[in-house]
Amino acid sequence: MTARIIKRAAALGVIAAMGAGAALADYDDDELVIDGVKIATKVPAPPGHPLPEIVSGWRFRSDETQALEADDFENPAMVAVDYGQSLWDAVDGEAGKSCASCHGDVEESMKGVRAGYPKWNEKAGRPFTLENQINACRTENMKAEPWKWESREMLAMTALVGKQARGYPMKIQKDGPMAEWIEKGKELYYTRFGQLDLACSNCHEDNYGKMIRADHLSQGHINGFPTYRFKWQGLGSLHRRFKGCMENIRAEPFKRGSDEFVALEAYLAVRGEGLGIETPAVRN
């Protein structure tokens, strides 16, 4: 059998698994409330949106997984949030500063901040993810070494900052210089990659609510990242999830922090606009 035939057969097998014979496991109507904060997990889709309604991945999870996220005492990612708080207060770098030196109380200064990222950075001439902004603060203001994208420190800090936006609706700038990046992300979302010849849309737009092997397909929104996944046995970034999806379809993944993944993040932020931030979410 030639490589082309093998590739085609694999792709057809995946598509068949997501087709009419796939088991349906649609989302539920439960409401997410964390520490008294009600978080929007389903919002109407605006005119022209590719989805009939916008639904968080939380609603596609089992009752047991939902319960873990709804209780900070049980949420396994809260250990990282606590570590992030210690990093926030710790002096680091040649400038002798901590995050708190400039920003004060994280609960006040970072309130709602995560909901607006990715965000255009005029000095850099490109969109900044939250990770980009954290490292810019470290290198420029604290004169400290940048953190690696998937480091324990970066995940803890993004979880801490993200938590301060719980319940705030995702809403990023869509006009001006951001428009080109969002359009680039949209193009990537609908582009087929890898040996399985699949695009993001094939799973998260065409087949959400279905089971593919042991995975329950959601609409693929990003309002809970960084997210604790049972598969990872820990916290992971959004770009780690992107990379994993590309590897699953046998494609060569882009790097974390690449222009491609930043553009895709921007498009998905627009695609899920109105959903409440859940950080740190819990998923399978």
Q: Write out the chain's pLDDT in tens, 284 residues.
A: 344 434 444 444 444 444 433 445 588 899 999 999 999 999 999 999 999 999 999 999 999 999 999 999 999 999 999 999 999 999 999 999 999 999 999 999 999 999 999 999 999 999 999 999 999 999 999 999 999 999 999 999 999 999 999 999 999 999 999 999 999 999 999 999 999 999 999 999 999 999 887 778 999 999 999 999 999 999 999 999 999 999 999 999 999 999 999 999 999 999 999 999 999 999 99
Active site residues: 245
137 is in an annotated binding site: yes
Q: Token digits for 140? A: 């420029």
Q: Tell me if 141 sits within 8 A of 85, measured CB to CB.
A: no
49 is in an annotated binding site: no
241 is in an annotated binding site: yes
221 is in an annotated binding site: no
* Distance from the first to the final alpha carbon of the chain: 35
Tell me which H or E stretch contains 11.
helix 3-17
* Whole-number Å distance between alpha carbons of 258 and 261: 5
Tell me which H or E stretch contains 181.
helix 178-189
pTM over 0.85: yes
Q: What is the CATH number of domain 16-74+168-283?
A: 1.10.760.10
Q: What's the burial of 146, exposed, middle or buried (CB within 10 Å: 0-12/13-18/19+)?
A: middle
Domain residue spans of the chain: 16-74+168-283, 78-163
* Whole-number Å distance between alpha carbons of 247 and 167: 32
Q: What is the CATH number of domain 78-163?
A: 1.10.760.10
Domains 16-74+168-283 and 78-163 share a fold: yes
Backbone angles phi, psi at 259, to 5 degrees: -55, -40
Q: Which amino acid is at 36?
A: G
Closest CA to 189 of 178, 175, 203: 203
99 is in an annotated binding site: yes
210-216 long-range contacts (CB < 8 A, ≥24 apart) are 210/18, 210/22, 210/23, 210/24, 210/25, 211/22, 211/23, 211/24, 211/25, 212/14, 212/17, 212/18, 212/22, 213/17, 215/284, 216/25, 216/60, 216/61, 216/284
* Whole-number Å distance between alpha carbons of 280 and 283: 10
